[in-house]
Amino acid sequence: MAITPPAERVWWNLPVARSEIIWVIVAFIWGLVMFSAMVYWHLEGEQNLSNEAYRISPEAYMEKATAMVEQYQVGEEAGMPIVHPPPGSEVYLVARLWQWWPIIEFEKGQSYRLHLSSLDWLHGFSLQPVNINLEVHPGYDMVITITPTEAGEFGVVCNEFCGIGHHTMIGKILVTE
Amino acid sequence: MSDFNHRVCPATGLRIHKSAENLIKANAVVAIVFLAVGGLFGLLVALTRWPGVHLLPADWFYLALTAHGLDVLLVWIIFFEMAVLYFASAVLLNSRLATPRWAWAAFVLMLVGAAITNVAVLQGNSSVMFTSYVPMQAAPHFYLGLILFAVGALIGCFVFFGTLVVARDEKTYEGSIPLVTFGAMVAAIIAVFTIASGAIILIPTFLWSLGLIGNIDSLMYRTIWWGMGHSSQQINVAAHVSIWYMVAAVVLGAKPLSEKVSRGAFLLYILFLQLASAHHLLADPGLSSEWKIFNTSYAMYLAVLGSMIHGMTVPGSIEAAQRARGFTSGLFGWLRNAPWGNPAFSAMFISLVTFGFLGGISGVVMGVEQINLIIHNTLYVPGHFHATVVLGTTLAFMAATYLLVPLIFQRELIMKKMAMWQPYFFGVGVTGIAVFMMGAGTLGVPRRDWDISGADAMIKFDFPGAAYLMMGLNGMFAILATLGGIMFIVVVVGSLLFGKRTGDKPLEGLTMTTVTEYGSVEHPKIPGTLVLVGVFFVSFILYYFVNWKYLAEVWPLR
């Protein structure tokens, strides 16, 4: 029994039933398949993290974001600037207690280099209802190249707990045709 | 020295030493108290996230969520694991416990630590969640309590290792240690690694909260903290798999199909489970894909392999024992005739099935480096770990408790009908919690969020109606699970206080006649288990590839 020492002292030499051996082999191969799938997607898939990140101070990041907003602002909503940066450009989204700043307008089918960083605590970038979720750190500038494939209004919900106003930290990304 | 201060268990013939027995009792009782407290916090959380009820105000919600994670994920489970370690070493090996005084010191440290951190949370300025990610800061005694708790648990692990040495030295058993003790040893080894990671990150964080250290890097914190946070879940896996084997052995007299295979699977846990810190960092900047892919897959899924092996050998050993007892009709006669009215068995079997199908499959899928993009920090994550930690670990520990009450506390269960139904209430309730949280997560609902309607937000986002429905269903099933939890507390505490003292037959009604020999059959047939394993494997493959398809539909990013 499992609660007593094995009945045969030399248990490690006892033969193993065929059904058990087959299952171990099948499970092992399935593991290799799943491992290969990640490697394959990393090389060929369309949805991958870039691995591109830089150390940056919150002040320096805010400076870049402010410069971008000044250059590309096209409107305002609820006191929040709306920016329309040209395709292919560097776009800075600021995470801070408790807002995503500014509102960004993309063009459908165009690619952008989207930067994400926090000025204070950890935040979670959750693009809804697309459902892309990324961790946003202070001091790290994460860069992803993103290509919106549908037009419309999208929410940026914070999904990393960031204090009492966490649930009010909602931003917006617009995608035009 | 080991000839006095013990009694002989009339059911098993094992010598049970007073010192070990008292420590098992103390740790188990404290564990159950924290389960009750933490479970009630969990109910408050679920009722607040039920949009139609929305019970607590925001500050109380985040406080309750912090306390819930702390008390059930950490305190209940680790205290109970201490009881399991002492049981699996001293009792199963027929030995005295090494250094009971150190074990009591460990107990006191853990209790004081848990109390201090709970006070910090209830004071209201440490609602930083169980994970306490920097740079958000809690009160210094929040971290101090955790550190004391961890030191206590570490001492407990070494008392366990010491007991293994003592038992070997004093020749209290013949041959190799039992499989259950081996599994407990695996849990203890992982625990040492886990607690070391916790110390490495929590001690500097404590100093930082006192103002003695200027800055803690948030990415470093998450990387090392999860070396504790995820690895401690691997302690739980090793512990509750051991309990599956133990319950199958005690209740049905099942013996492992192959000691070699089962122990090999446990060995894979020691070698590979600790890599899982990466599971929480897949969507973080600054870590390479190579590092993420290798670590998140436990080096090519070798720890998953271990669990898949146990997923066959545990039900396989039950089937073999049942068939040896004469339940040989059809594929599933052995299962139909299993002791479903015995809460130790039903809790164990529900734990086994739900851990595999819900917790295991969802865990592997969300741990895929790229698929994690559509799951990270959504409610899917707590959905997954309620399937692993509550259905897997907590339900298995409840099963173990139903055996400890007569064996160690020497009391009969009271209210046997209620005890019989308890695992079903709790199992169905938590299954609903896990499924509906995962469902809400696939719709993008964030975890740890007081109000998804964004009523107080300047900019709005409307989640689909189905998300609200799922949050409501989650609340309803949480009520069912709470009922199951209350039934457990009532039965166990009631039995300890008012249960009839067990005489010569403590396990009457809990076990069947033991089958230790399967006659001349070298490899018992287990066709029913093979069918179950096949169903599991097909579900696994389908769900895995469906999620790749979901991922392929989101905006391209690189």
pLDDT at B2: 43
Cα end-to-end span (Å), chain A: 68
Partners of B248 on chain A (C-beta within 8 Å) are 2
pLDDT at B519: 47
Taking the C-alpha atoms of residue B146 and residue B125, their distance in angstroms, rounded to an integer, is 16
Judge whether A3 is closer than 8 Å to chain B, CB to CB.
yes
Instruction: Express each pLDDT in B213-271 by its tens digit.
Output: 999 999 999 999 998 888 888 899 999 999 999 999 999 989 899 999 999 999 999 88
Looking at chain A from residue 123 to 162, which residues have their Cβ under 8 Å from any Cβ of chain B? 124, 126-135, 137-142, 144-150, 155-162
- Of residues B502, B482, B509, the one with CA closest to residue B420: B509
**Which tokens in the block code for residue B94?**
């027929």
Residue A93 contacts residue A125 (beta carbons within 8 Å):
yes
**Which tokens in the block code for residue B416?**
């046997």
- Chain mean pLDDT for chain A: 95
pLDDT at B468: 97
Q: Is B220 left (phi over 0), alpha (psi -120 to 50) or beta?
A: alpha
Q: How many helices (H) and strands (E) does chain A have?
A: 2, 12
Taking the C-alpha atoms of residue B250 and residue B409, their distance in angstroms, rounded to an integer, is 16
Taking the C-alpha atoms of residue A41 and residue A132, their distance in angstroms, rounded to an integer, is 16
What secondary structure letter does DSSP report for A158?
Answer: E
Q: Is B109 helix (H, G, I), strand (E, B) or coil?
A: helix
Dihedral of alpha carbons B318, B323, B327, B331, sign? positive
Looking at chain A from residue 63 to 92, which residues have their Cβ under 8 Å from any Cβ of chain B? 77-80
Does A92 have pLDDT greater than 80?
A: yes
pLDDT at A9: 85
**Could you tell me the residue ranges of all domains in chain B?**
6-553
pLDDT averaged over consecutive 10-residue blocks of chain B (558 residues)? Answer: 70 86 96 97 97 96 97 96 96 94 97 97 94 95 96 96 96 94 96 90 96 95 92 93 95 91 94 84 93 89 94 96 91 95 97 97 95 97 97 97 93 94 98 98 96 91 96 98 98 95 74 56 85 97 97 95
- Of residues B77, B76, B197, the one with CA closest to residue B147: B197
Contact flag A164-B449 (C-beta cutoff 8 Å): no
Contact flag B180-A147 (C-beta cutoff 8 Å): no
Q: What pTM did the predictor assign? A: 0.95
Percentage of residues of chain A with pLDDT beyond 70: 100
pLDDT at B550: 96
Contacts 24+ apart (CB under 8 A), B324-331: B324/B515, B324/B517, B324/B518, B324/B519, B324/B524, B325/B252, B325/B512, B325/B513, B325/B515, B331/B527, B331/B528, B331/B531
Contact flag B249-A28 (C-beta cutoff 8 Å): no
Taking the C-alpha atoms of residue B103 and residue B44, their distance in angstroms, rounded to an integer, is 34
User: At A49, which amino acid appears?
Assistant: L
Partners of A146 on chain B (C-beta within 8 Å) are 555-557
Partners of B376 on chain A (C-beta within 8 Å) are 124, 133-135, 159
**Could you tell me the residue ranges of all domains in chain A?**
16-44, 52-176
What secondary structure letter does DSSP report for B93?
Answer: T
Taking the C-alpha atoms of residue B311 and residue B356, their distance in angstroms, rounded to an integer, is 7
Chain A residue with minimal CA distance to B538? A30
Taking the C-alpha atoms of residue B390 and residue B65, their distance in angstroms, rounded to an integer, is 16
Taking the C-alpha atoms of residue B326 and residue B341, their distance in angstroms, rounded to an integer, is 19
Chain B residue with minimal CA distance to A130? B554
Judge whether A40 is closer than 8 Å to chain B, CB to CB.
no
Taking the C-alpha atoms of residue B470 and residue B35, their distance in angstroms, rounded to an integer, is 25
Q: Higher confidence at residue A9 or residue A121?
A: A121
Residue A8 pLDDT level (bands cut at 50, 70, 90): confident
Taking the C-alpha atoms of residue B499 and residue B86, their distance in angstroms, rounded to an integer, is 24
Q: Which of B12, B135, B377 sits opposite A126 (nearest CB)?
A: B377
Chain B residue with minimal CA distance to A135? B284
Instruction: Express each pLDDT in A24-53 by its tens digit.
Output: 999 999 999 999 999 999 999 999 998 899
Contact flag A159-B312 (C-beta cutoff 8 Å): no
Per DSSP, what are the bridge partners of residue B8? B15
**Which of A18, A167, A173 would you mutate first to test chain B, the one with the most B CBs within 10 A?**
A167
Residue A173 contacts residue B460 (beta carbons within 8 Å):
no
- Of residues B174, B54, B155, the one with CA closest to residue B471: B54
Taking the C-alpha atoms of residue B178 and residue B469, their distance in angstroms, rounded to an integer, is 48
Percentage of residues of chain B with pLDDT beyond 70: 97
ipTM: 0.96
How many CB atoms within 10 Å of residue B163? 27
* A86 CA: distance to closest CA in chain B (Å): 18
Q: Which CATH class is domain B6-553?
A: mainly alpha
Residue B262 contacts residue B310 (beta carbons within 8 Å):
yes
Q: Which H or E element spans position B535?
A: helix B527-553
The per-residue DSSP string of B372-408 comes to GGGTTTBTHHHHHHIIIIIIIIIHHHHHHHHHHHHHT
Q: Which of A31, A99, A133 sits opposite B376 (nearest CB)?
A: A133
Q: Is A101 helix (H, G, I), strand (E, B) or coil?
A: strand
Q: Is A50 helix (H, G, I), strand (E, B) or coil?
A: coil
Superfamily of domain A52-176: Cupredoxins -  blue copper proteins (2.60.40.420)
Strands A90-96 and A103-107: unpaired
Contact flag A20-B454 (C-beta cutoff 8 Å): no
Instruction: Express each pLDDT in B301-316 by its tens digit.
Output: 999 999 999 999 999 9
Cα end-to-end span (Å), chain B: 67
User: At B526, which amino acid appears?
Assistant: I
